[in-house]
């Protein structure tokens, strides 16, 4: 964070400024107010009009100053009924406090010593229901852009003295507040240190969202897979914290990041814990299958129709041949046209306002699809496969991995076109190699699969009932790994006892 | 024994758990050999060849036991054993021979797999391009170190499991009487078949190199044996299924019995399963090539102060060039037979090493060293 301090060459903002320098530079802004107060108390007030809550200024600060004859800053500090006042002569702090929406009082203009009064406008969105990770059952709170509100949402759910919040400022210009949360005594020290270290090492001018942090502290920034799980649900964050994970919340971002994470975690929804375990496991498997289908369905179509049509049974072959009879393109071109159309629709839908987006969906899905088939540009069968694949890719509970899956199928298409099913296998093997190598905050990303961890498999592809989840995931290497005593849980009652 | 040369003390974060020995040993043994070994072993002992598999399996267990004794006594890997027994120069030469041997294993597996694809899927396959992509894939694995390769071993065993299930299809329409009369072959015939099956069992001797990477070496022993046992059982089942489905004369005309048997698999949405089977087999073959390359390039790293990366590049180029040059079935057959022979002698070398070690220990003990 402070690395830039070391090279004096391009300091921004400048060091060793005096209060006067700062005031001079601030005066260039229109909303910066400096005015002397001539009443019982003689002093100078300065603040940013756009940052300060008028109520605090008009109803608390000014009456206190006008009604009493105050001779020093210390007296003011005693009188003004606002908490968090401070008197200092640090020019650096002068600028910082001013930017954070404090009202600053000096006895004379450009005086070194000053009093800061926090009076920032607390303007932010109300806590609303989660939209990206919606669930029918379960809590319906989602994070907002305010860091304090977000931490409050977590603390309310996890009333634990061990819940520790560390805070730092990142971004040379934005000085964004970033909080690191963990449960002391459960979370592994190594994980916490890695996260803190990486956050501290960030050297960039702006942090506009938590996704900046994701990309900056990721173990492999060239990977298409997100290595930190981002969520907008406080209950999910609480769950992560209890499992011994480290959570990063960035001011101004409604998404918290939790790490270390694994690939299977991206396919688990919070619903999985609200439903009975067999249903939850079933849905989770469906989701996993959907993702695999979404990635390899069109490549397999290309592979089979281009090279291995013998694989299709005779009856099915008739259906496919009749639907493809008039198509002038080879399968690969047909697939690419349709896949690109779907991506186009999706991208347009994501950029447009909701209501227009729906129209686009209908126009694109029905009109273009039907027209393309009727015009003989694509086959019905492929249209079904592509549409299903697109639908399946929406089942991912975490939005970030959905983006990855969207583009993942294109390398597979190349492989399929080159060497059929063998090509698909080879591309898959490349991804497997990548996933095995990938780490999340130094912990293996492909975890319960490799390194094989039987304990963690209890909550991976399926979710076993809570009375079987006696251990916190080994993947995070928690200091205290026991959730409850499995032995006692296993004690069974005999008949009629 | 302390080894002065670098690369011996394996840091813990690069190690693999003892359970993984099972996957390492097993996946290195099962390769392309399995796709067509039935014909070759049936040449000697006829349909009693399944006994040969058991015999070979037991022999491999014995050899594995010896390897473990060697490694435990010497406390290192192949390179340190050789240095201990033969000194720097002769030992170094033997090490290099082993390096070339592991490269040969990789080459045989790679070229035979490409041959399978040529025969079954793409007769017009561009061999060098395919070999290049496949070797790049192998490079991507090997560069990640043994841990990453082990991951692929694990996944290859998992992905290979459903293929075993498909043995059930030919079994339904086969004829058990093909196996009778049982135990008709002579001992020498059975032994000769067992020798022919060497190629299918090769690969467990790589333990000589990855042994220092195992976390709990004592516990790994049972997993290694379990791995060999599992391999033997898979071969046994494969052979018996092939023998039940084909009669003895028919089998002699079938080069790839296992693939041919996949043809029988039939689902309402899928016929000619062999295309998919070969696609999945890419995963079974991959650990072979990766482990072979890893071991081959590790030996020079252990001997000289040279980066494994550079050796790996060299070996990749060698593999690419040779596999592109081999262009007909007869050469590939000869390559397989050659590897089989060589592999057999390398296996014979293990007991020699074991006895030498035994004598050496006795002598040194007597001289109080």
**Six-digit token pair at A203?**
């050297």
Residue A436 counted as domain residue = yes
**Are A113 and A154 found together in one domain?**
no
Q: Answer yes or no: is pLDDT of A360 > 80.
A: no
CB pair distance less than 8 Å for A433 and B117: no
* Closest alpha carbon to A343 in A393, A272, A406: A406
More confident residue, A209 or A364: A209
- Do both A110 and A168 map to the same domain? no
Output the pLDDT for position B2.
41
Q: Is the pLDDT of residue A49 over 50?
A: yes
Coil/strand/helix, residue A172: coil
Structure tokens given for A167:
């805070």
Average pLDDT rounded to a whole number, residues B228-232: 95
Residue B345 has pLDDT above 70, yes or no: yes
pLDDT at B79 over 50: yes
Q: Residue B366: pLDDT above 80?
A: no
Q: Is the pLDDT of residue A10 over 80?
A: no
Which segment of A88-97, A130-139, A333-342, A419-428 scores lowest on mean pLDDT?
A: A88-97
Chain-centre distance for alpha carbon B24: 10
The reported pLDDT for the residue numbered A5 is: 45
Token couple for A192: 């916490």
Interatomic CA distance for residues B246 and B254, integer angstroms: 9
Residue A245 lies in a domain: yes
Complex confidence, ipTM: 0.92
**Closest to B242 in 3D by CA, of B157, B178, B333:** B178
Same domain assignment for residues A413 and A365: yes
Q: Are residues A194 and A310 in the same domain?
A: no
Residue-averaged pLDDT of chain B: 89
Residues A322 and A423 placed together within one structural domain of the fold: yes
Indicate whether A296 pLDDT > 50. Answer: yes
The most confident of B75-89, B240-254, B312-326, by mean pLDDT:
B312-326
How far is Cα B113 from Cα B202, in angstroms, rounded to an integer?
Answer: 16
DSSP state of A51: T
Residues A295, A289: Cα–Cα separation, whole Å: 10
A480 belongs to a structural domain? no
Higher pLDDT, B167 or B106: B106
Question: Is-contact B30 B234, C-beta < 8 A?
Answer: yes
Number of folded domains that form chain A: 3
Taking a C-beta distance cutoff of 8 angstroms, is the pair A226, A404 a contact?
yes
Rounded mean pLDDT, A138-167: 92
Give the pLDDT score at A14. 61
Residues A235 and A295 in one domain: no
User: Tokens 């009604």 — which residue?
Assistant: A67
In a domain, A135, yes or no: no
Residue A456 maps to a domain: no
Confidence category of residue A359, pLDDT binned at 50, 70, 90: confident
Would you call the peptide bond into A13 cis, given omega within 30 degrees of 0 as the criterion? Answer: yes
pLDDT score for B127:
93
pTM of the predicted protein model: 0.90
Is the pLDDT score of A493 beyond 60?
yes
Architecture of the domain delimited by B16-337: Up-down Bundle (1.20)
> What pLDDT is stored for residue A147 in this prediction?
92
Q: Is B8 a residue whose pLDDT tops 60?
A: yes
Q: Which residues of B touch A426 (CB under 8 A)?
A: 133-134, 137, 282
Whether residue A154 sits in one domain with residue A80 = no
Cβ distance B151 to A308 less than 8 Å, yes or no, reads: no
Identify the pLDDT of residue A6.
46
Mean pLDDT of A105-133: 85
Residue A108 has pLDDT above 90, yes or no: no
Nearest to B286 among A311, A429, A450 (CB): A429
Has residue A254 been placed in a domain? yes
Q: Does A222 touch chain B (CB under 8 A)?
A: no
Cα–Cα distance measured from residue B206 to residue B208, given in angstroms and rounded to the nearest whole number: 5
Mean pLDDT of B129-133: 95
Tell me: do A106 and A233 sit in the same domain.
no
Q: Which pLDDT score is estimated for B220?
A: 92
Parent domain of A197: 147-261
State whether residue A55 is helix, strand or coil.
Answer: helix
Structure tokens at A41: 């108390």
Asked if residue A416 and residue A345 are part of one domain, the reply reads yes
String of DSSP letters for B224-290: HHHHHHHHHHHHHHHHHHHHHHS-HHHHTT-S-HHHHHHTT--BTTB--THHHHHHHHHHHHHHHHH
Q: Is A368 in the same domain as A311?
A: yes
Residues across chain A: 497
Both A194 and A76 in one domain: the answer is: no
CB of A313 less than 8 A from some CB of B: yes
> For residue A1, is pLDDT > 60?
no
Which of B121, B147, B148 lies closest to A422 in CB terms? Answer: B121
At residue B5 the predicted structure's pLDDT band, cuts being 50, 70 and 90, is: very low
Count of CB atoms situated within 10 Å of the CB of A475 = 25
Nearest C-alpha of chain B: how many angstroms from A407? 20
pLDDT at A2: 45
pLDDT tens track for B251-292: 888 888 888 888 888 888 888 888 999 999 999 999 999 999
Neighbours of B121 (CB within 10 A): 18
Which structure tokens are listed for A370?
């039907």
- Say yes or no for a CB contact (<8 Å) between B276 and A421: yes
Q: Do A429 and B152 touch (CB under 8 A)?
A: yes
pLDDT of residue B307: 92
**pLDDT given at position A3:** 46
The Cα A181–Cα A164 span in angstroms is 6
Structural tokens at position B79: 């390179």
Task: State residue A249's pLDDT score.
Answer: 95
Would you call A310 an interface residue with chain B, using a CB distance cutoff of 8 Å?
A: yes
Partner residue opposite B275 with nearest CB, options A421, A426, A430? A421
User: In the listed set A77, A98, A118, which residue is the last one of a domain according to the structure?
Assistant: A118
Residues of B with CB under 8 A from a CB of A: 16-17, 19-20, 117, 121-122, 125, 130, 133-134, 137, 140-141, 144, 147-148, 150-152, 154-155, 266-273, 275-276, 278-280, 282-283, 286
- Residue A454 included in any domain: no
Q: Is residue A230 part of a domain?
A: yes
The full length of chain B comes to 369
What is residue A77's three-state secondary structure? Answer: helix
pLDDT band at B1 (very low <50, low <70, confident <90, very high): very low
Please answer whether residues A383 and A373 qualify as being in contact, where contact means their C-beta atoms are separated by less than 8 angstroms.
yes
Residues A298 and A427 in one domain: yes
């Amino acid at each position: 964070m402070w690395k830039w301090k070391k090279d004096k060459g391009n300091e921004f903002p400048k060091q060793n400024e005096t209060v006067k320098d700062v005031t001079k530079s601030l005066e260039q802004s229109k909303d910066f107010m400096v005015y002397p107060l001539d009443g019982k108390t003689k002093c100078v007030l300065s603040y940013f009009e756009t940052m300060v809550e008028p109520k605090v200024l008009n109803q608390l600060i000014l009456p206190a100053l006008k009604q009493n004859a105050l001779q020093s800053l210390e007296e003011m500090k005693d009188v003004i009924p606002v908490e968090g006042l401070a008197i200092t002569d640090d020019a650096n702090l002068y600028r910082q406090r001013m930017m954070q929406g404090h009202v600053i009082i000096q006895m004379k203009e450009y005086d070194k010593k000053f009093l800061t009064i926090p009076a920032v406008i607390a303007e932010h969105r109300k806590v609303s229901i989660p939209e990206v990770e919606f669930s029918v059952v379960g809590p319906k709170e989602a994070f907002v852009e305010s860091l304090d509100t977000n931490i409050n949402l977590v603390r309310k759910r996890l009333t634990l003295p061990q819940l520790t919040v560390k805070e730092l400022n990142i971004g040379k210009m934005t000085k964004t507040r970033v909080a690191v949360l963990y449960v002391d005594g459960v979370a592994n020290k190594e994980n916490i240190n890695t996260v803190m270290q990486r956050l501290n090492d960030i050297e960039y001018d702006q942090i506009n969202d938590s996704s900046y942090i994701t990309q900056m502290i990721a173990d492999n920034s060239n990977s298409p897979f997100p290595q930190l799980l981002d969520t907008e649900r406080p209950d999910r964050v609480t769950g992560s914290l209890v499992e011994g994970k480290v959570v990063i919340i960035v001011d101004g971002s409604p998404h918290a990041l939790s790490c270390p994470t694994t690939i299977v975690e991206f396919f688990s929804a919070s619903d999985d814990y609200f439903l009975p375990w067999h249903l939850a496991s079933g849905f989770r498997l469906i989701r996993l299958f959907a993702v695999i289908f979404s990635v390899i369905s069109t490549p397999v179509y290309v592979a089979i129709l281009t090279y291995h049509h013998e694989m299709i049974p005779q009856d099915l072959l008739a259906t496919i041949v009749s639907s493809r009879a008039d198509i002038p393109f080879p399968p690969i071109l047909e697939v690419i046209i349709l896949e690109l159309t779907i991506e186009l629709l999706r991208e347009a839908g994501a950029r447009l306002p909701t209501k227009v987006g729906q129209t686009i969906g209908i126009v694109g899905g029905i009109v273009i699809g039907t027209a393309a088939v009727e015009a003989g540009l694509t086959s019905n069968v492929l249209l079904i496969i592509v549409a299903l694949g697109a639908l399946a890719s929406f089942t991912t509970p975490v939005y970030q991995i959905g983006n990855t899956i969207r583009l993942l199928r294109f390398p597979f298409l190349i492989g399929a076109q080159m060497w059929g099913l063998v090509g698909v296998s080879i591309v898959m093997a490349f991804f497997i190699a990548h996933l095995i190598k990938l780490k999340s905050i130094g912990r293996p990303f492909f975890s319960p699969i490799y390194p094989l961890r039987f304990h963690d498999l209890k909550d991976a592809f399926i979710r076993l009932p809570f009375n079987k989840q006696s251990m916190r995931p080994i993947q995070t290497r928690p200091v205290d790994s026991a959730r409850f005593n499995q032995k006692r849980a296993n004690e069974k009652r005999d008949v009629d006892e | 024994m302390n080894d002065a040369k670098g690369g011996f003390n394996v840091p813990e974060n690069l190690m693999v758990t003892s359970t993984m020995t099972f996957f390492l040993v097993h996946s290195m043994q099962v390769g392309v050999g399995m796709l067509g070994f039935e014909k070759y072993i049936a040449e000697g002992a006829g349909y009693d060849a399944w006994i040969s598999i058991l015999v070979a399996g037991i022999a491999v267990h014995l050899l594995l036991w010896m390897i473990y004794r060697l490694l435990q006594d010497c406390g290192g890997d192949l390179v340190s054993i050789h240095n201990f027994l033969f000194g720097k120069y002769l030992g170094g030469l033997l090490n290099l021979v082993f390096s070339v041997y592991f490269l040969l294993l990789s080459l045989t597996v790679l070229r035979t797999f490409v041959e399978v694809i040529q025969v079954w899927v793409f007769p017009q396959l561009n061999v060098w391009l395919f070999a290049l992509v496949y070797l790049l894939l192998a490079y991507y694995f090997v560069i990640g170190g043994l841990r990453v390769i082990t991951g692929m071993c694990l996944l290859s065993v998992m992905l290979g499991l459903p293929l075993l299930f498909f043995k059930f299809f030919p079994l339904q329409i086969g004829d058990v009487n093909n196996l009778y009369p049982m135990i008709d072959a002579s001992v020498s015939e059975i032994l000769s078949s067992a020798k022919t099956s060497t190629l299918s069992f090769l690969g467990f001797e790589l333990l000589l190199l990855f042994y220092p990477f195992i976390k709990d070496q004592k516990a790994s022993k049972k997993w290694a044996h379990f791995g060999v046992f599992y391999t033997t059982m898979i071969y046994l089942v494969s052979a018996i299924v092939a023998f039940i489905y084909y009669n003895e004369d028919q089998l002699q005309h079938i080069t790839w019995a296992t693939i041919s048997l996949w043809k029988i698999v039939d689902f309402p949405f899928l016929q000619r399963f062999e295309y998919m089977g070969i696609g999945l087999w890419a995963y079974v073959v991959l650990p072979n090539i990766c482990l072979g390359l890893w071991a081959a390039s590790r030996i020079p790293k252990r001997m000289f102060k040279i980066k494994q990366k550079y050796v790996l590049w060299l070996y990749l180029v060698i593999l690419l060039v040779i596999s592109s040059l081999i262009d007909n079935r007869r050469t590939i057959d000869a390559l397989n037979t050659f590897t089989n022979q060589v592999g057999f002698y390398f296996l014979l070398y293990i007991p020699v090493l074991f006895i030498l070690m035994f004598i050496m220990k006795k002598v040194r003990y007597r001289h109080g060293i």
